[in-house]
Amino acid sequence: MTAPAQVEQRVLQLRASIGLHVDAYHTHDAPLITDAEYDGLFRELQQLESDFPELSTEDSPTQRVGGAVLEGFEQAAHDQPMLSLKDAMIETEARSFVESVVNELGQDDDVELCAELKYDGMALSIRYIKGRLDRALTRGDGTTGENVTAQARTILNLPLTLPVPIDLEVRGEVVMLKRNFEIVNSRLRRLGQKTLANTRNGAAGSMRQLDPKVTATRRLSFFAYGAFELDGRPAFEASSQWDLIEGMRALGFSVAPETALVRGWNGVREFFESVGKGRVGLPMDIDGVVFKVNALDDQQRLGWNNRTPRFAIAYKYPAEEVESIIEAIVVQIGRTGAATPVAKIKPVRVGGVQVASASLHNQDNIDAKGICIGSTVIVRRAGDVVPEIVRTVLTPGDEALTCYVMPSVCSSCGTTLHRTPGTVELFCPGGIKCPAQKLAKLAHFSSRLGMNIDNLGEKTIQTLIEARLVNMPSDLYGLEEQSVRELPGFASVSAKNLIAGVSSSKAPELPRFIYSLGIEDVGEATSRSLAKHFGTWNSFRTASYEQLLATADVGDGTATNICQFFADPLLSAEADRLAEITQPQSYQQQNGIAMRGMTVVLTGVFPTLSRGQAKALIEQAGGKVSGSVSKKTSAIVAGDAAGSKLDTARELGIVIWDEAQLLAIAAN
Ligand code: IVH
């Protein structure tokens, strides 16, 4: 059927309109319509293109939903090396950059510089052949990068075709706008998946997804900062960096509107300060500003130093600091009894994430900084580092506040807190009798990295403890549906699900089992090393101090902690009981990793696999099969005549695979 003229018209209209909204959103940070309205336009276009395939075009926005899953990333050589910029961390370094440029060029002090934002994401080099996006590479080691073309095609504001059929290489940064970071994280949270630590990891992690369909859900943006011909000559016969920027803008690339021409040191300082002031309000995270000598022939004269250009500098901002107020201080009792004061602060966005609490470490730190409930404080966070309270800011009225003093008894069980000898740390000696420690131990046992027990969150553990049904991890395996059903907040289905979750955690992989015991200093990586080294639970359980020490990554402290753990009659008896009940697998017979941690639901009839085969495939790849769809479901595999589970999955925004996709993923 050929498309009626009005359909063709509507398709063109929709594409133009979507293009306009993408531009308003990504380039100007000024969305004109809501996300839902945008999705409506997008879906309408998708529908029309599927009804009238002859109307599909290569550059339609619908082509950005992601193609087939890759087996791995291919390496490819860059046409021109991708090098990096020299950093200036303090004013004198930035100033001496300007001075050296002026001296070497023998120019006036007011040398012209192109001032740009230093976008904090992941560098990308994109090649266009005859105006079509041909290849996108990550930086890699600068000479060779990874081919992420399929992923790059999902970036909404990256042109798939250029208005002119030219060959061109464009360099720029893939970023996740702050607004999108919040949206993506709330979806990941809803799906029970690991959230992104910050926008930089969000951008880099999303580009490194083998399944471009996943990248497509991450709402990435691209900002351009360089362009050249494939032989390395400047693009557009440009004579300045500014011309390059304008040329890229004209081709449809996004460039931050803050980009400007400045002159001399004064211009550099003013730009650095003014962008610094407005940084919090920018749509994307930046970690500095970049200055490039504007005239390209001057750039040539200045040349390169090793791997960095002498005509450019990245002037970095110090770790972001934001003011907040301490609203409360709570003392958290950890799994091992450590008592840590934690400040609950008025939520602020700092260093790329929303911060609502920060550890105060110990009483000495509180005293040294003069921290009180009600204090105005400076919160700092750089990169992936945990947020910290740097200092207090004396504010009128604060004189009346009194410095916080940690309680002398455990907030959970009332036992007198002890001081760890030789340190300023306090701990609760209550052990398993302390409800907070009991809860933390059980939560650790059932956590995602531990036994990964479905349907058992902290709230449920709390309920089970209060009902005296569970005291220690092994009690979980004795739970009966009948008694769980009678608990507050439970009904017959939820009770069944809990019992099923506990039961399917049996036969854990050995590293998980070791981790779940909560031995001090034995985290995920150490547990894996121990499992690899000893192979079976028994040989780990009976290892001597010397044998433990022979394990990679295990030092004196960790080996001693493991010995002390097994020397404790209560702890070792519980560990033996758990091993007896759950039968940890030996390391060799461990399952694959392609689907580790995933919970998958099957629905409908598959073209080649039986239900049993599909289940076995998922389990061999390290995943689990569940009978019902919930927000924790990682994916649903839908065959013919799929029923209401598929509708529920759609409502919850869960990834939907067909049999072919399942086969491809499980085979990885
Ligand atoms: S120019 C020769 N301009 O910062 C270096 N880089 O070390 C050419 N970056 O990872 C890079 N914003 O991806 C340039 N406006 C900008 C930039 C920028 C961010 C990143 C770049 C690289 C690092 C430079």
Residues of the chain with pLDDT under 50: none
Inter-residue contact 666 to 69 (CB < 8 Å) = no
70 within some domain: no
528 and 490 together in one domain: no
Closest CA to 375 of 407, 404, 339, 347: 404
Tokens 């039961």 belong to 503
- Choose the catalytic residue: 86, 118, 130, 346: 118
Q: Which CATH number characterizes residue 326's domain?
A: 2.40.50.140
- Cα separations (Å) of 612 from 602, 605, 609, 641, 661? 10, 12, 8, 18, 17
126 and 31 together in one domain: no
110 and 259 together in one domain: yes
312 and 325 together in one domain: no
Q: Which atom of ligand 1 is nearest to the CA of 226?
A: 1
566 and 605 together in one domain: no
pLDDT at 629: 87
> Which mutation among 84, 85, 171, 245 tests ligand 1's pocket best, with the greatest number of atoms within 8 A of CB?
85
69 within some domain: no
Closest CA to 139 of 119, 127, 160, 122: 122
Closest CA to 511 of 586, 619, 618: 586
pLDDT at 591: 59
559 and 651 together in one domain: no
pLDDT at 510: 94
In the chain, what's the furthest Cα-to-Cα distance? Answer: 87
Atom 8 (ligand 1) nearest CA: 84
Q: Which atom of ligand 1 is nearest to the CA of 122?
A: 13
294 and 325 together in one domain: no
Q: Which CATH number characterizes residue 556's domain?
A: 1.10.150.20
Q: Is 37 annotated as a binding residue?
A: yes
Instruction: Provide the residue range defining the domain that includes 642.
Output: 599-666
> Rounded to an integer, what distance in angstroms lies between the CA atom of residue 619 and that of residue 598?
10
Q: Is 109 annotated as a binding residue?
A: no
628 and 577 together in one domain: no
590 within some domain: no
Q: Which CATH number characterizes residue 647's domain?
A: 3.40.50.10190
**In degrees rounded to 5, what are phi and psi of residue 578?**
-65, -40
> Which mutation among 80, 82, 84 tests ligand 1's pocket best, with the greatest number of atoms within 8 A of CB?
84
Q: Long-range contacts of range 262-267, CB-CB < 8 Å, 24 or more positions apart? A: 262/112, 262/113, 262/115, 262/291, 263/110, 263/111, 263/112, 263/113, 264/98, 264/102, 264/108, 264/109, 264/110, 264/111, 265/95, 265/98, 265/99, 265/109, 267/110, 267/113, 267/115
Q: 550, 582, 614: which is the final residue of a domain?
A: 582
Q: 39, 63, 87: which is the final residue of a domain?
A: 63
Q: 452, 474, 503: which is the final residue of a domain?
A: 503
> Rounded to an integer, what distance in angstroms lies between the CA atom of residue 80 and that of residue 612?
51
**Ligand 1 within 6 A of 315 CB?**
no
**Ligand 1 within 6 A of 290 CB?**
yes
> Rounded to an integer, what distance in angstroms lies between the CA atom of residue 600 and that of residue 657?
10
590: amino acid identity, one letter: Q
pLDDT at 419: 87
Q: Is 410 annotated as a binding residue?
A: yes
68 within some domain: no
Closest CA to 313 of 285, 286, 293: 293
591 within some domain: no
- Cα separations (Å) of 623 from 159, 508, 642? 37, 12, 21
Tokens 């979507």 belong to 18
Count of residues making up the chain: 668
587 within some domain: no
126, 140, 668, 526: CA torsion to nearest 10: -150
Closest CA to 98 of 119, 112, 84: 112
Domain count, the chain: 6
Atom 18 (ligand 1) nearest CA: 118
pLDDT at 383: 58
> Rounded to an integer, what distance in angstroms lies between the CA atom of residue 624 and that of residue 615?
8
Closest CA to 627 of 498, 497, 447: 497
**130 among known catalytic residues:** no
Q: How many helices (H) and strands (E) does the chain have?
A: 25, 24
Cβ neighbors of 34 (< 8 A, separation 6 or more) are none
In this structure, what DSSP letter does residue 508 have? -
223 within some domain: yes
